[in-house]
Amino acid sequence: MTIDRRGAWVLLLLASFACNRRQKVEVQPTIEEAAPALASSVHTRDPKSAGQLVSGFHQIEANAWRWTAKSFAVALYPPAGSGQKGATLQLKFTIPPVVTEKLGKVTLSASVAGSQLAPESYSRPGQYTYERDIPPGVLSGNSVRVDFQLDKALPPGETDLRELGVVVVSAGLESK
Amino acid sequence: MSRARAAAWWIAPSLLCLLLYWRGFTAWFRADDFDWLGLVLRVHGFRDFLAALVTPYSFGTIRPWSERVFFMAGFTLFGMNPLPFRVVIFATQFANLALMAAIARRLTGNAAAGFLAAIFWVLNSALVLPLGWVCAYNQVMCAFFLLLAFYFLLRQVSGGRSARRYEILQWLAFLLGFGAQETNLVYPALAAAYTLLCARKQFRRTLPMFAVSFAYLLVHRWAAPPQRTGDYAMHFTSGMLRTLKDYWMWSVGPAYLWTPFRAPAWLVPFAVALVSLGLLTFLVREWRSGSRTAAFFLAWYLIAIAPVLPFRDQRMDYYVYIPVIGLCWLGGQAFARGWRMAGRYRAAAAAMALLYAAMVVPRSVGASDYNHRLAERVRNLVEGVAGAHERHPDQTILLEGVDTDLFYNAILDHPFRALGFENVYLASGSGRNIAPHPDWGDPAEFILPPDVTAKALDERRLVVYDVGAPLLRNITTEYSGRPRSAEVPRLVDAGNPLEAYLLGPEWYGIDGDHRWMAKRATLRIGGPRAPGQRLYLRGYCPAGALRDGPLSVTVTIDGAPLAPAAIHPGENSFALSYPLPPSVVGALEMRVVVEVGRTYRVPPDNRDLGLAFGAFEVR
């Protein structure tokens, strides 16, 4: 059998293409961690909970808490039976004086799995718990996303390049 | 010689070579190999290809065939599969062994001398790295061109109608040898030494080759000026004699005089002295008898070793790989002659050969095995990280447990760049496990600062792997739970997306491994720990930005301006340093403002460009 010159070029190109498509290195398996189970309640100081702080949380500070941005969200495990009976959402947080000094009254609202919860306003610095009932039928599955929203936040500035909302200590769902 | 004996004469040294260096044949890549494997990434067109062939890299070397083409072609066709590279390396070595034996047979008129010379070379521990470390292939290829050119010279000297053809072939091999390695420039001296001693009529015909070597030397020094400091600085002092003594010991005996036997410290040097005495006695006898071949063998050694003698601070065992060919020829001739003489001469020859083998073979086998095991560790890490990247393509990979061997062989030369990703860092604290070698590289450049690590973990942009076992183990959760430092880093890499939170809003987005600033940019960085520490800025300033003269760079720290500095034309890869005021010593963080005197544009990019960074470091 003979291969004409054009055929040889095609073969050469194909061989070259095949070679270029090869994986550049053998890939070895790795020993991976088991997927972490979600908790119903998270403390922002706990690094193991970091995976449940979906967005809007800054670094841990003083090994105790985290600043948030204007919007922040957590993923929580719905407590047993909460789908039928409902649950209570609790957000423990602090409003530092600098926030009220510069922004005045701030309003916090939340939504769970798309269901809006009533907002609440705070005009003085201090420690607060934002607590709302979640009606039956909202919570289901192994994970629920809770979105929090502030109406105002401190913009990035000269001293701190971060957007600052409130200081959150924990967030959780409690069964009724 | 019967056909079977003739076949054995040619093949046996190669088979022994494969047997002895099987661990080298099966070794993976390591260290500088990755730098060369990644070279192909710099090629985007024919002009880049030419530049990649001849631009001086790696301490000013220009080796188009043995490094550039070898690695670029190998990686393009086979990726990080070492087998094709090894096949080429060993095939070249087999050719070297055949040439070596053939040359010795021609020079001594004794087939046994040629065979033994090849065997002695195979046993020598100088072969471990050229055969076991891919980037040392330049040695093997250089030996090939030197031996080939010399073989053609011998054919030319023997006269006949083909003499002219062999002279042309000698020239071709000589010229091609410059693409393999710089040592090739000694070939005219080798040819001249041989013709002067053994074929004086041909001596003058070797002289034009000196002009070529001299021209090569001039061009090479122009393209890659010799280093004045560091390991590769040349020292033309009497210390060269001490270096020669050491290389002689490593040539006649094991590299670094290493032996696995529990022996008194004087034993190996004593054995080296005995074998050396045997060789020199034979040399003197030959000289007295009027034969100059043995003298040429010694001349080969001295001429080939000469280029590396000025490298006082960079002594490598494989530097004797080519020179030792001369001593193996001498040893082969001496053994063959002694064996033929029978009686005490035969006994002495056998004793010397056994002594030599007893010294060098354990080192060759041991070092080859060590090289293999080291390369396997590198393989586990690189292939393991490739697996981790495949599982977590959008996350940065942090490695815990990298030690000295792994850092210098698997991290420093950026193996992952060749695989298309670079976001691999070392865990903070890794520096404690890595012995410093400032001339090789700085582990600090690969360590992710604790503060950046903490933030990246919180944002789930980082996965952490323990590299302490052959299979990498994901320890992200466990690592996240460890006590954290909230210190603002003192080394900020503007090209690392994980450190973007330290940069002000004026910066442009990341371009590959760097980030452009406009006229003014800000960042946060940790303050100096002690008085006297400085702020270092490293980055890139294109020639176009310096066309109108020096570019002023003003830096202020917490509002206080530092001494003004400028980047001058030609300083495209710039490194600026500023003394820091005492007021910021111990500060948790400083706010740095960098401002350049002017910006420039590169159409169609409509951004106002200042400088590309790079790193900011306080130390």
Average pLDDT, consecutive stretches of 10 residues, N- to C-terminus, chain B (619 residues): 87 97 96 92 84 78 91 93 96 98 96 97 97 97 98 93 94 97 96 96 95 94 80 88 96 93 91 96 95 97 96 92 98 95 90 96 96 97 95 93 96 93 91 87 90 83 92 88 77 89 90 89 92 92 86 92 88 89 90 93 87 92
Using alpha carbons only, give the angle B102, B107, B110 rounded to the nearest 5 degrees. 70
Instruction: Share the mean pLDDT of chain A.
Output: 84
Residue B533: both structure tokens together: 């520490």
* Assigned CATH for B487-619: 2.60.120.260
Given B75, B460, B474, which is nearest A30 (Cβ)? B474
For residues B451 and B457, what is the distance between their CA atoms, to the nearest angstrom?
Answer: 10
**pLDDT greater than 70 at residue A2:** no
Residue B57: both structure tokens together: 């890299």
Contact assignment for A60 to B79 by CB distance below 8 Å: no
Interface of B with A in 548-587 (CB under 8 A): none
B554 forms bridges with which residues in the sheet?
Answer: B595
Given B386, B474, B505, which is nearest A32 (Cβ)? B474
For residues B442 and B453, what is the distance between their CA atoms, to the nearest angstrom?
Answer: 19
For residues B10 and B98, what is the distance between their CA atoms, to the nearest angstrom?
Answer: 6
The conformation of residue A54, written as its DSSP 8-state character, comes to E
- Of B174, B121, B111, B113, the C-alpha closest to B325 is B121
For residues B29 and B410, what is the distance between their CA atoms, to the nearest angstrom?
Answer: 9
C-alpha distances (whole Å) from B235 to each of B183, B242, B321, B394, B495 are 17, 12, 22, 49, 39
Q: Where along chain B do its domains lie?
A: 3-371, 392-484, 487-619
Query: Which residues of B are less than 8 Å from A31 in CB distance?
Result: 471-474
Interface of A with B in 40-79 (CB under 8 A): 47-48, 50-51, 53, 57, 59-61, 63
Q: Give residues with Cβ within 8 angstroms of B95, minimum separation 6.
A: B144
Residue A137 has a pLDDT of 84
Q: Give residues with Cβ within 8 angstroms of A145, minimum separation 6.
A: A54, A73, A74, A75, A112, A113
Q: Report phi then psi at B449, rounded to 5.
A: -60, 150
Residue A3 has a pLDDT of 45
Residue B23: both structure tokens together: 């661990």
- Taking the CA atoms of chain A, what radius of gyration do you get in angstroms? 26
Cα A49 → chain centroid: 10
- Classify residue B505 by burial, with Cβ atoms within 10 Å: 0-12, 13-18, 19+: exposed
Residue B549: both structure tokens together: 């003269």
Q: Does B455 touch chain A (CB under 8 A)?
A: yes
SS3 call for B159? coil
Determine whether domain A41-175 maps to CATH 3.40.50.720: no
Q: Does A81 touch chain B (CB under 8 A)?
A: no
CB atoms within 10 A of CB B237: 11
**DSSP class per residue in B131-144:** HHSGGGHHHHHHHH
Amino acid identity at B537 = L
Q: Which residue bears the tokens 């909460």?
A: A82
Four-residue CA torsion sign, A100, A102, A104, A107:
negative
Given A26, A28, A50, which is nearest B458 (Cβ)? A50
What pLDDT, in 10s, does the model give residues A54-104? 889 998 888 889 999 999 999 898 887 787 788 999 999 999 999 999 999
Residue A121 has a pLDDT of 96
Contact assignment for A47 to B473 by CB distance below 8 Å: no
Q: Where are the beta strands (DSSP E) in chain A?
A: 41-43, 53-61, 65-76, 87-95, 106-112, 115-122, 126-134, 144-150, 167-175
For residues B491 and B615, what is the distance between their CA atoms, to the nearest angstrom?
Answer: 7
Average pLDDT over residues A118-136: 94
Rounded to 5, what percent of chain A is helix, strand, coil? Answer: 20, 45, 40
Contact assignment for B524 to A161 by CB distance below 8 Å: yes
Alpha carbons within 13 angstroms on the beta-carbon side of residue B371 total 27
For residues A88 and B491, what is the distance between their CA atoms, to the nearest angstrom?
Answer: 45
- Of B497, B524, B492, the C-alpha closest to B511 is B497
- Of B179, B202, B442, the C-alpha closest to B188 is B202
C-alpha distances (whole Å) from A136 to each of A39, B380, B520 are 20, 52, 55
For residue A100, give how far its alpha carbon lies from the nearest alpha carbon of chain B (Å): 25
Given A30, A36, A61, which is nearest B471 (Cβ)? A30
Average pLDDT over residues A27-31: 90
For the entire predicted model, the pTM comes to 0.77
Cα B185 → chain centroid: 19
Amino acid identity at B233 = A
Contact assignment for B419 to A51 by CB distance below 8 Å: no
Residue B126 has a pLDDT of 97
For residues B71 and B61, what is the distance between their CA atoms, to the nearest angstrom?
Answer: 15
